[in-house]
Amino acid sequence: GGADPDHALLPGDMYSQDGDADEPEWVKTEREQFVEFRDKNRDGKMDKEETKDWILPSDYDHAEAEARHLVYESDQDKDGKLTREEIVDKSDLFVGSQATDFGEALVRHDEF
């Protein structure tokens, strides 16, 4: 049988049983997660909103997570504070970060 292009991806699709009735633990867990949390309207598949909530949970604070990441990666003496030297040393991180938009600031200002 060919793959159905309209077929929604289900947890069972990631694992083929091949006649083995004993599912691995991760498949059982995924199936439970899917039924309990991901398929909110219980229609057996994940629609656009359900997929978005799974990938980008609304209670996840991206700015805080990014800030923690920047401090963690740059704070060489692990004192919880960033010195000018630590920031300059990891400037590529800050330039690429969505949290600081530092790269955008550099592009906009002619004096840099």
CB-based contact 64:56 (threshold 8 Å):
no
Instruction: Tell me which residue range forms the domain holding 96.
Output: 62-102
**Averaged pLDDT, 74-94:** 92
In this structure, is residue 81 part of a structural domain?
A: yes
Same domain, 28 and 45: yes
pLDDT band, residue 90 (cuts 50/70/90): very high
DSSP 10-62: -GGGG---TT-----HHHHHHHHHIIIII-TT-SSS--HHHHHHHHS-TT--H
pLDDT given for residue 5 in this prediction: 57
Same domain, 68 and 47: no
Render pLDDT for 21-64 as a digit per residue (tens, 0 to 9).
Answer: 678 899 899 889 888 888 999 999 989 998 888 888 778 788 88
In this structure, is residue 88 part of a structural domain?
A: yes
pLDDT band, residue 66 (cuts 50/70/90): confident
Q: At 90, which amino acid appears? A: K
Rounded to whole angstroms, the Cα distance separating 102 from 54 reads 29
pLDDT given for residue 112 in this prediction: 47
